[in-house]
Structure 1
C-alpha cells in the first residue's frame, strides 16, 4: 500500500498566478470548460504541477501577485515577522523552484529558522507556536522538537 502525503497533495493543488506569453488553444486544465482558448497576456491561476512546465518552456511568466514586492520587502526587513502561512503555505518550496532569487531565499530561511529555533526547547508547545510558519519550516521545527524530546527522555 502506498502512502499519500497530504502536503504533496496540497502542493500539487496550489494555484499560482501566471500570465501567458502567447495564445494557447484548447487549454482544458483550468476548470469546467474543456476546450478553452487563452489569449496572450491573459492572467490565470494554474496548478503548481503545470506551472513549472510552462515556465521552463517559455509559455508564461509569473504574475506580479506571486512575486509580491511588498511581501519580499517585509521579508528583507524582518523575516521572522512575516506570516508566511497566509502568504503562501509552501512559500520556500515554490519560490525555490519558480523564482530566481535562491540566494536571498536561503538567507531568509536560515534567519527564520534561527529565530524560531527556541521553540524546539520550549516546555509547553502548541499549534499557536508554529502558526506563522510555512509548511517546510513547520515540519523542520516539529521534527527537531520530537528528536529533542526523545533525547531529553533518554539522556537527561
Structure 2
C-alpha cells in the first residue's frame, strides 16, 4: 500500500481496544478528562496508528506503554461465525475495511489460526461474490443481502469481476457478428 492509499488511512483510523501498562500524565484527554493522567490498567479504544506506536518498543527494552487487544470485529463470536459460514457474516457492519484491519492486526499478533480463518473466509466469500458478479439477477435478488455486507476490498473485487464479465460478454457478441 502506498502512503496516499485512502483505504490504508481509513484502516489505520479504526479504533482498537488497549490497556495502559503504566500511568501517563497529561493524556487524560484520551478519556475525556483534559489535563488529567491516564492511570495504569485503564482500558481505552485508540486509533490503530496510535495504538501501534504506543505498544511497540525496541527489542530488549521495557514493555510498551500499552498492550493491544484484538478488536471486537475479530472477537471469538465473530470468528465462530466465520468458521460456521463466512458468507453469512455481514463484515461491513463489523468494520468497513475488515480484511485490511485483520491483516494489520496479524502484523502485530502472531495468530496463525486467525490468519488461516481469514484466508479461508476470503476465499469462500470471493467465490460467492464472483457468482453474483457473473449473474446480475442473483445480485439483485437473493444475493442482495450478501452484497450489502461486503467490506471495501470485496466491493472492489465485485466491481472488477462484474466489469470483466461484462467485457467478455461484449467481446463474444462482437465475435458472433463477424
Do the structures match in fold with TM over 0.5?
Answer: yes
Residue matched to 1:42: 42
Task: Name the SS of the counterpart of 1:147 in structure 2.
Answer: helix
- Among 92, 99, 106, which residue is 2:119 paired with? 106
Give, in whole Å, the separation in 2 of the partners of 1:30 and 1:146: 45
Q: Give the TM-score normalised by structure 1.
A: 0.79
Does residue 134 in structure 1 map to residue 151 in structure 2?
A: yes
For structure 1, the residue ranges without an aligned partner over 5 or more in a row are none
Count of matched residue pairs: 153
Decide which structure has greater helix share.
2
For structure 2, the residue ranges without an aligned partner over 5 or more in a row are 58-63, 174-178
Aligned ranges 1:1-156 → 2 under 5 Å: 7-27=7-27, 30=30, 35-57=35-57, 58=64, 59-62=66-69, 65-99=72-106, 100=111, 101-124=114-137, 125=139, 128=144, 130-156=147-173
Question: Are 2:16 and 2:45, in contact at CA under 8 Å, matched by a contact in 1?
Answer: yes
Decide which structure has greater strand share.
1
Question: Are 1:52 and 1:98, in contact at CA under 8 Å, matched by a contact in 2?
Answer: no
Mean alpha-carbon deviation: is it higher for 75-84 or for 10-19? 10-19
Question: Are 2:17 and 2:44, in contact at CA under 8 Å, matched by a contact in 1?
Answer: yes
Task: Name the SS of the counterpart of 2:37 in structure 1.
Answer: strand
Q: Give the TM-score normalised by structure 2.
A: 0.70
